[in-house]
A and B are shown apart, each in its own frame.
Chain A
Amino acid sequence: MDRYDFPDVRGHFGPYGGIYVAETLMAALAELNEEYARAKADPAFWEEFHYELKHYVGRPSPIYHAKRWSELLGGAQIYLKREDLNHTGAHKVNNTIGQALLARRMGKKRVIAETGAGQHGVASATVAARYGLECVVYMGAEDVKRQSPNVYRMKLLGATVVPVESGSKTLKDALNEAMRDWVTNVDSTFYILGTAAGPHPYPMLVRDFQTVIGEECKVQMPEMIGRQPDVVVACVGGGSNAIGLFYPYIGVDGVRMVGVEAGGDGVETGRHAAPLSIGKPGVLHGFKSYLMQDEDGQIIETHSVSAGLDYPGVGPEHSYLKDIGRAEYTAINDDEALKAFHDLCRYEGIIPALESSHALAWAAKTAPTMSKDQVILVNLSGRGDKDINTVASLSGLTL
């Protein structure tokens, strides 16, 4: 690829992205954009960011060769980028640290966040405690019920968790409610958005903070195998862990990039969360991208065993990478993801997040079609401790 320089000044990735919000928020987004431009050019900002990532999060996260599992699959070698070993157990904290540092620069004392499975909520509550900020987390009432350990974690960390009772009572409704809070408290409040979506500049700044994942891989892979991997693969809900892995590889020829969406019961059943695989472009939550919607343009409910992928939209940069063909997107069903979850537990001694299990399942499916000297790098974006109740109940057990 010759030149890739997105987004443009108004936040567009080709036809996607942009700023589609009510007028009241326009000034706040402009202010955030200007402050981020200043921070981006300030070496002290990045020095502090990387100091925090090293000493608080535990970066760089290692890459691990899943040798036993690769041998069993009998094809390409599978390597795992261990974001599950980060403080708070997922990649989400890379972004919340970056945004909390921005909030502090802007003098905002109150932060809000939306959360689905609770991982971004926990990562936001964590940094709020770390920097002494008031924190309110919006979470769909259904998700509050499904993810009670994370709700308690957020409370332990001093955050207020607000169950959202409107709409489908899941992640998209939590995002609506966070936007409503922001519009009301726009002077005092910083909105820590959890994925590489939302109005500009969020898709760009979340990407920039998550890019540490791919940047580390680009150094670590040659150290381990003397070259870059043949394929990099990540799960895609909103798409922050995927864009963090992909972005540094966009200009690297010969590295295939694969994003894996949640196929739920199967994309042919309509019960899934795979807008890139089967959706249509539209506008939701402040940006244009592929969306799950009906013929009237109403957003339709999504289904996935993994709450973190249960989102009807996707970050705009993924829509663009799909259209230009630089990345490919596919879906993995619930049962395939669950099998990969169990296999990684049993063969490698790692309990992966159900979200990451979608990327693992794609690797397991594809590795046997590749030769033994080829390499698939999977972003193991989070650990699965949070999912044990879900997995147990699917196995007919109550913990």
Chain B
Amino acid sequence: MSRIAACFAALAGKKALIPFITAGDPHPDLTVSLMHGLVEGGADIIELGVPFSDPMADGPVIQRASERALAHKVGLRHVLDMVAEFRKTNSTTPVVLMGYLNPLCAMGYAEFAKRAAAAGVDGMLTVDCPPEEAEELATALQQESIDPIFLLAPTTPLQRVAEIARHARGYVYYVSLKGVTGAGNLDIDDVARKIAALRQYIHVPIGVGFGIRDGATARAIAVTADAVVVGSRLVQEIEAATPETARERLTPLVAELKAAIS
């Protein structure tokens, strides 16, 4: 069983917390420590952002995180090194990379999948690669037992949901709102209705992200979702901290979110 499937199986119906941070933010030397800090706080799965020069789907908070990481020249190969380092002392927490397609194109899909599997990556969420264009990448990933994670959006018609369901592995990521990461227009009731409709087609766990900023929204989303993804709020905390205090500020925040959905 993959780490992602094992994780959801072990939760046995309890809700998963999936924190997101950008690899290399604020400094490449801190990322592995921050990942352990997330687990200490109660992270069930970690989403690790791969910095990209043109993060089209991200709001200002994660754009700045990408820019801070890129200032240290953090690229995909460094991110894989960080995951390998994390795996030296954690062999159970699934790690899902989240990013844009071009760095994967540049490395080559097969080469990426091989190196990612060796590093201990469990899933790949490629924001700008919908299933229509994903065949080659998804095949390469699955050959190495890495789950391609796909997005669903409020604008996705149900017929298309059924199509995406055929490709979905690990979990699906439902984008809670029309907007970019960190947006402020989350409508909890609307999300609950959509998730109920998705359940007819989707047979892997459903994670929900975008716009979840505190315990209260996390709890409300967790009523219907299987997993709650929190990104911008955590990245904001890193931004406000010094490199020395980032981990000690992040861990209690994750613990608070975990408590809220438990």
Contact = CB atoms under 8 A, between A and B. Distances in A.
A23 B53 contact: no
Contacts of A176: 54-56
Contact of A297 (B76, B152, B160): B76
B184 to A, nearest CB: 11
Contacts of A28: 155
A20 interface: yes
Contacts of B133: 18-20
B106 interface: yes
A107 to B, nearest CB: 17
Contact of A167 (B53, B100, B103, B128): B53
A23 to B, nearest CB: 4
A297 B105 contact: yes
Interface stretch (B35-43, B174-182, B189-197, B216-224): B174-182
A24 B211 CA distance: 15
Contacts of B178: 24, 183-187
Interface residues of B, number: 43
Contact of B175 (A24, A288, A298): A24
B180 A299 contact: no
- Of residues B52, B54, B59, B103, which shows the largest number of chain A Cβ atoms within 10 Å of its Cβ? B54
A145 interface: no
B77 interface: yes
A377 interface: no
A281 interface: yes
B236 to A, nearest CB: 17
B47 to A, nearest CB: 15
B128 A283 contact: yes
A293 interface: yes
Interface in B105-137: 105-107, 127-130, 132-133
Contacts of B128: 20-22, 283, 286
A253 interface: no
B153 A24 contact: yes
B95 to A, nearest CB: 19
Interface string B36-80: 000000000000000011111101100100010010010111000
Nearest to B63: A166
Nearest to B59: A180
A296 B103 contact: yes
B175 A295 contact: no
A27 B104 contact: no
A23 B102 contact: no
Interface string A184-196: 1111000000000
Contacts of A283: 100-102, 105, 128-129
B235 interface: no
Nearest to A176: B56
A264 B77 CA distance: 31
A282 B175 contact: no
A159 B245 CA distance: 45
Contacts of A298: 52-53, 70, 75, 102-103
B13 interface: no
B155 A166 contact: no
Contacts of B75: 295-298
A10 interface: yes
Contact of B132 (A10, A25, A295): A10
A24 B56 CA distance: 12
Given A10-B132, A283-B102, A180 B152 contact: no
A239 B3 CA distance: 46
B106 A23 contact: no
A37 interface: no
Contact of A284 (B102, B107, B129, B183): B102
Nearest to B79: A296
Interface of B: 52-57, 59-60, 63, 67, 70, 73, 75-77, 100-107, 127-130, 132-133, 150-157, 160, 175, 178-180, 183
Sort A-B residue pairs by CB-CB distance and give the 10 closest, nearest first: A297-B106, A296-B75, A297-B103, A23-B151, A24-B153, A23-B153, A27-B155, A184-B179, A298-B53, A297-B102
29 contacts: A19-B130, A20-B129, A20-B133, A22-B127, A23-B130, A23-B155, A24-B155, A26-B156, A26-B160, A27-B157, A28-B155, A167-B67, A173-B54, A176-B54, A176-B56, A180-B56, A183-B178, A183-B179, A184-B178, A184-B179, A281-B105, A283-B105, A296-B106, A297-B75, A297-B103, A297-B104, A298-B70, A298-B75, A299-B54
Given A22-B153, A23-B175, A185-B178, 10 more contacts: A20-B101, A24-B151, A24-B178, A180-B59, A180-B180, A285-B56, A296-B103, A297-B76, A298-B103, A299-B54
